[in-house]
Amino acid sequence: MKDNIVTVQHLSFTYKDTKHPAVNDVSFNIPKGSWTTLVGHNGSGKSTIARLLDGILLPDENSETLIQIDGITLNEKTMWDIRDKVGIVFQNPDNQFVGATVEDDVAFGLENRQVPRLKMQTIVHDVINQVGMLKFQKSEPQYLSGGQKQRVAIAGILAIGPKLIILDESTSMLDPAGKDKILALIRKVQKENGLTIFSITHDINEASQADQILVLNQGTLLASGSPIEIFKDESLIKSAGLELPLFYKVKNKLIKRGITVPQEIDNEKKLVNYLCQLNLKM
Amino acid sequence: MSKIIIGRYIPGDSIIYKMDPRGKIIATFLFIVIIFLANNWLSYLFLSVFTLLAVWATKLKPKVFWDGVKPLIWLILFTSVLQLFFTTGGKIYWHWGILNISEYGIQNSIFIFIRFVMIILISTVLTLTTTSLEIADGMEWILKPLGYLKVPVAQIALVMSIALRFVPILLDQAVRIMNAQRARGADFNSGGLIKRIHSIIPILIPLFIGSLTIAIDLATAMEARGYREGAKRTRYRVLKWSKYDWINLGYFTLLTLILLLTRTY
Ligand SMILES: Nc1ncnc2c1ncn2[C@@H]1O[C@H](COP(=O)(O)OP(=O)(O)OP(=O)(O)O)[C@@H](O)[C@H]1O
Ligand SMILES: [Mg+2]
């Protein structure tokens, strides 16, 4: 498909010395410019998928397997081109901070791509500004909070000018306020840079705001669709170890009781309005 | 604990801080070589004055320099006392068995004492005013010629700077693990050597596993960010040679000349 930035077909992966595949015949698409979340319980293979998309792991041999990112088919030869298009923000803020200071860390990816120093300086300054860390440009990581380190990680990725950002539980080690700030920042840079976001999360609220949800269970894809579609079936979300947001629980219960609630109602306010109108008609 | 391992850099902005780490490292090595030129009172006097001026130029409190000398003071005194009792020559003032106090003995023990203290002071000037990262960068430049012998200098330097960056994190982890063990009744501060070693093992194992996790995560993150082992890279952080570095090298060249002129041949 032309409008998909990521196309994955029949993707399987088995870790060395293990019997069962961690990812088993998974196929999905990620539309360009979308926010797609991947949910699943611990050990269901989410991080493995993130690593496969970036070519850090190579899929099990299978002639039907296809990973295509921004028109490039991933294989050993295109691995490095793919990494120019994909950036990953990992879970632990400390274990991805390579540089000695904020600016050094942001420059790491540029150094790897042999960008000349003068050009590096402009880019580094720009992206640090974009994530609001200019005041900390020369700071060492031990003086930064977890959220600030994640901002630096995002800046380091933006510096490369990627098309797709993968968040592998990037906010799970932050406090609720820090989490919201990072998500808001990602929404901002997504808009500013026209990015696609692929977010692995255990946060149901984040998932409910996504354009597309993928549900993974023991390495296989159970379902994919919009939050409204996915949340219709409570057992689906339960299988990912998550709880439905209260609003969807209420909506599902109403439908079960035989009250018609239109699909497009996707928040509390709309539901309340709709129920009031229904009440008036009765 | 963190003080010892991280080095004792103290932020400041005197002229010494403006100097390039390469110049400072070279000057320190040069100093350790030329100190052996001094062999009479006049040359030792110049050596001491030049050193103390450098100490003064850091604009740091004398106490921090004393902290540098203190851990070694017994070693210095011991060596000086050995010189005092075992050197013969000149007038003998006291004599007992193989021990004696002679004119040369007194002189030599004082010279040795000065030599020790001056070397410690100069290297303390380096470590107090230069971050470990700057030292690593400086060493990388100095060791560059080894690249011709196929030594992966740039890679070693990257490893060094990453290692330096994780020292505080690992220390943090160690403290956390120790507190957790303490909460379960572990006692690290009493008992004989064997008992103490025993109580350290439950700290080392989680620490070791923790560092492995960091290493694996970090390797993945580096690869995801386009790091290729052995591939050429450009550099964001560069060292800049300035007029202060000429002052630095000029100062120690001058000292070399003075020592050459004042020493006895
Ligand atoms: N390096 C490895 N070697 C062997 N097995 C692994 C390795 N990494 C992960 N696995 C296994 O593969 C499966 C999927 O792991 P993965 O890390 O992708 O899960 P996840 O969905 O990201 O879990 P979490 O929510 O805990 O991050 C798990 O059963 C895990 O034990
Ligand atoms: Mg994971």
> SS3 letters for chain A?
CCCEEEEEEEEEECCCCCCCCCEEEEEEEEECCCEEEEECCCCCCHHHHHHHHCCCCCCCCCCCCEEEECCEECCCCCHHHHHHHEEEECCCCHHHCCCCCHHHHHHHHHHHCCCCHHHHHHHHHHHHHHCCCHHHCCCCHHHCCHHHHHHHHHHHHHCCCCCEEEEECCCCCCCHHHHHHHHHHHHHHHHHHCCEEEEECCCHHHHHCCCEEEEEECCEEEEEECHHHHHCCHHHHHHCCCCCCHHHHHHHHHHHCCCCCCCCCCCHHHHHHHHHHHHHHC
The shortest C-alpha distance from B34 to chain A (Å) reads 35
Expressed as residue numbers, the domain containing B38 is 15-130+241-262
Same domain, B125 and B246: yes
The rounded Å distance from CA A229 to ligand 2 centre is: 25
Partnered with residue A36 across adjacent β-strands are A198, A212
Residue B8 counted as domain residue: no
Contacts of A58 (CB under 8 A, 6+ apart): A52, A76
Residue B7 counted as domain residue: no
Distance between CA atoms of residues A127 and A110, nearest Å: 12
Task: Give me A153's structure tokens.
Answer: 């990680």
- Report the residue among A13, A15, A20, A56 best suited for mutation to probe ligand 1: largest number of ligand atoms under 8 A from its CB: A15
Which is higher by pLDDT, B25 or A267?
Answer: B25
SS3 for B227? coil
Residue B233 counted as domain residue: no
> What's the pLDDT at A44?
94
pLDDT < 50 stretches in chain B: 1-6
Same domain, B203 and B256: no
Distance between CA atoms of residues B137 and B150, nearest Å: 19
Same domain, B111 and B171: no
Q: Which residues of B50-84 are buried (b: 16+ CB within 10 A; e: fewer)?
A: bbeebbeebebeeeebeebeeeeeeebeebbeebb
Same domain, B42 and B121: yes
Same domain, B44 and B87: yes
Distance between CA atoms of residues A97 and B165, nearest Å: 9
CA dihedral sign of residues B179, B185, B188, B189:
positive
Same domain, B49 and B149: no
pLDDT in tens, A158-185: 999 999 999 999 999 999 999 999 999 9
Distance between CA atoms of residues B87 and B85, nearest Å: 6
Is A53 within 8 Å of A67 (Cβ atoms)?
A: yes
Same domain, B173 and B207: yes
Paired sense of beta strands B92-96 and A220-225, if any: unpaired
Task: Give me A173's structure tokens.
Answer: 């080690």
Contacts of B171 (CB under 8 A, 6+ apart): B1, B2, B5
Mean pLDDT value of segment A236-264: 86
pLDDT in tens, A188-207: 999 999 999 999 999 998 99
Mean pLDDT value of segment A108-132: 96
Residue B87 counted as domain residue: yes
The beta-carbon neighbor of B234 closest among A87, A111, A142 is: A111
SS3 for B18? helix
pLDDT confidence of A2, banded at 50, 70, 90?
Answer: low
Global confidence as pTM = 0.84
Split into its structural domains, chain B has a count of: 2
Is B89 within 8 Å of B102 (Cβ atoms)?
A: yes
Residue B109 counted as domain residue: yes
Q: Which residue of B has its CA nearest to A115?
A: B234
Same domain, B26 and B72: yes
Is B40 within 8 Å of B262 (Cβ atoms)?
A: yes
Q: Is B232 on the interface with A (CB under 8 A)?
A: yes
Q: Is A56 on the interface with B (CB under 8 A)?
A: yes
- Report the residue among A17, A46, A88 best suited for mutation to probe ligand 1: largest number of ligand atoms under 8 A from its CB: A46
Same domain, B152 and B91: no
> What's the pLDDT at B3?
42
Distance between CA atoms of residues A223 and B24, nearest Å: 63
Mean pLDDT value of segment A252-269: 84
Residue B138 counted as domain residue: no
Same domain, B117 and B150: no
> What's the pLDDT at B7?
56
Give the closest residue to B114 by CA, choosing from B215, B201, B207, B45: B45
Lowest mean pLDDT among A10-24, A45-59, A170-184, B87-101: B87-101
Q: Sheet with A220-225: list strands edge to edge.
A: A86-89, A164-168, A196-200, A35-39, A212-217, A220-225
Kind and range of the H or E run holding B101: strand B99-102
Distance between CA atoms of residues B27 and B23, nearest Å: 6
Mean pLDDT value of segment A246-270: 84
Q: Is A85 on the interface with B (CB under 8 A)?
A: no
Q: At what angle do helices A102-112 and A117-130 cross, to 10 degrees?
A: 130
Task: Give me B141's structure tokens.
Answer: 């430049």
Mean pLDDT value of segment A40-54: 95
Contacts of A211 (CB under 8 A, 6+ apart): A31, A34, A35, A36, A226
Q: Sheet with A72-73: list strands edge to edge.
A: A23-31, A4-13, A66-69, A72-73
> What's the pLDDT at A224?
94
Subunit contact B214:A113, Cβ cutoff 8 A: no
Which is higher by pLDDT, A246 or A222?
Answer: A222
Residue B139 counted as domain residue: no
Task: Give me B47's structure tokens.
Answer: 């050596």
For residues B140, B141, B142 and B146, what is the CA-based torsion angle, rounded to 10 degrees? 70
A43 Cβ below 6 A of ligand 1: yes
Is B227 within 8 Å of B215 (Cβ atoms)?
A: no
Residue B53 counted as domain residue: yes
Same domain, B161 and B186: yes
> What's the pLDDT at B227?
93
Kind and range of the H or E run holding B94: strand B92-96
Is A153 within 8 Å of A167 (Cβ atoms)?
A: no
Is A246 within 8 Å of A205 (Cβ atoms)?
A: no
Same domain, B176 and B125: no
The rounded Å distance from CA B26 to ligand 1 centre is: 50
Max distance between CA atoms of chain B, in angstroms, equals 74
Which is higher by pLDDT, B7 or A4?
Answer: A4
Is B105 within 8 Å of B84 (Cβ atoms)?
A: yes
pLDDT confidence of A222, banded at 50, 70, 90?
Answer: very high
Contacts of A113 (CB under 8 A, 6+ apart): A84, A160, B226
